């Protein structure tokens, strides 16, 4: 019996156990998947004790960058993106445990866009420069896009440092930084990589109507509710818009591939995403 889980804080209702149970069933893997609410202060201790007894785990807010420093080894993509959402533990012959960190958010993101028929275009605006925001930014610029990085005023210094890294790596002018409330530009694709609009704060929207109207398409990483206010506003303007549910399922499938070598077809992923929306309403 394989043992997996997801860590976060706070972490209340999460779809990860539902998703991974279905994925393991589809691939014939006998396993269980638990939820661990771990504070940032307790992460290091739990990593070397309880978590290391698992075969692997997923990490969500606020642990995606912190677990990088705890893993013995990082996958090339995780190291490049500066974010880890999947850890695989391997037991060595001498009884010690080796941990390797990966990020599957980029795979989930690109597959979700492809599934919805959304093109990144040439200019992408990303609200939020946390772990998943950095994955989105790196994924977009690696495909030739220019990115506008939006961040709240209190966290703008971190966004500036991240932009400098992107400009150094991909060329000057690749990334520009704005305080979120001061941005009023156009984008081929607008991405919300913040928790703004997530249940129960469903009446919140990360940007104003002018930014939404000036976007060719919208991707909201938030998946609960099934239609965020951002997505609703975009669709009312006939702008193609999706939430992060399909991305969530695709990145979970990629984690199962890392852990067990499992492979899944698009039809099963789409059906699972639909069932996840129904599960949210229960």
- pLDDT at residue 132, as a whole number: 86
Round to the nearest angstrom and report the end-to-end CA distance of the chain. 28
- pLDDT at residue 220, as a whole number: 98
Query: At how many degrees (to 10) do helices 266-280 and 105-116 cross?
Result: 100
- pLDDT at residue 61, as a whole number: 83
Identify the bridge partners of residue 219 per DSSP, sorted by sequence position.
Answer: 191, 242
**What pTM did the predictor assign?**
0.88
From 64, 88, 146, 233, active-site residue: 64
| Domains contained in the chain, CATH given | 2-103+246-280 (3.40.50.10860), 118-243 (3.40.50.720)
Q: Which tokens go with 206? A: 């990360």
- pLDDT at residue 80, as a whole number: 85
Averaged pLDDT, groups of 10, the chain, 282 residues long: 96 91 97 97 96 96 92 93 92 94 94 94 96 92 97 96 96 97 97 94 97 98 93 98 95 97 93 90 64
Helix (H, G, I), strand (E, B) or coil at 192: strand
- pLDDT at residue 162, as a whole number: 96
Helix intervals (H) in the chain? 16-27, 43-48, 76-81, 105-116, 131-141, 156-170, 209-213, 229-236, 245-260, 266-280
240 is an active site residue: no
Burial class (CB within 10 angstroms; exposed 0-12, middle 13-18, buried 19+) of 93: exposed
């Amino acid at each position: 019996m394989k043992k997996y889980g997801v860590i976060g804080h706070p972490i209340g209702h999460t779809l990860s156990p539902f998703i991974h149970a279905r994925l393991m069933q589809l691939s014939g893997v006998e396993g269980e998947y638990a939820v661990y609410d771990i504070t940032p202060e307790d992460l290091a201790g739990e990593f070397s004790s309880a978590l290391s007894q698992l075969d692997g785990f997923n990490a969500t807010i606020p642990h995606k960058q912190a677990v990088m420093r705890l893993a013995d080894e990082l996958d090339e993509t995780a190291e490049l993106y500066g974010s880890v959402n999947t850890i695989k533990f391997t037991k060595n012959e001498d009884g010690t445990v080796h941990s390797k960190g990966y990020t599957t958010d980029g795979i989930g993101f690109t597959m979700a866009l492809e599934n919805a028929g959304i093109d990144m275009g040439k200019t992408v605006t990303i609200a939020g420069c946390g772990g998943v925001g950095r994955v989105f930014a790196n994924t977009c610029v690696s495909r030739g896009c220019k990115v506008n990085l939006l961040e709240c005023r209190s966290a703008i210094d971190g966004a500036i440092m991240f932009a400098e890294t992107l400009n150094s790596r991909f060329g000057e002018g690749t990334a520009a930084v704005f305080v979120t409330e001061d941005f009023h530009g156009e984008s081929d694709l607008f991405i919300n990589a913040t928790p703004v609009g997530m249940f129960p704060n469903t009446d919140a929207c990360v940007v104003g109507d002018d930014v939404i109207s000036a976007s060719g398409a919208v991707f909201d990483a938030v998946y609960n509710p099934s239609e965020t206010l951002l997505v609703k506003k975009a669709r009312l303007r006939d702008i193609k818009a999706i939430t992060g549910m399909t991305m969530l399922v695709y990145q979970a499938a990629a984690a199962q591939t890392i852990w067990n070598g499992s492979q899944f077809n698009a039809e099963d992923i789409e059906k699972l995403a639909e069932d996840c929306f129904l599960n949210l309403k229960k």
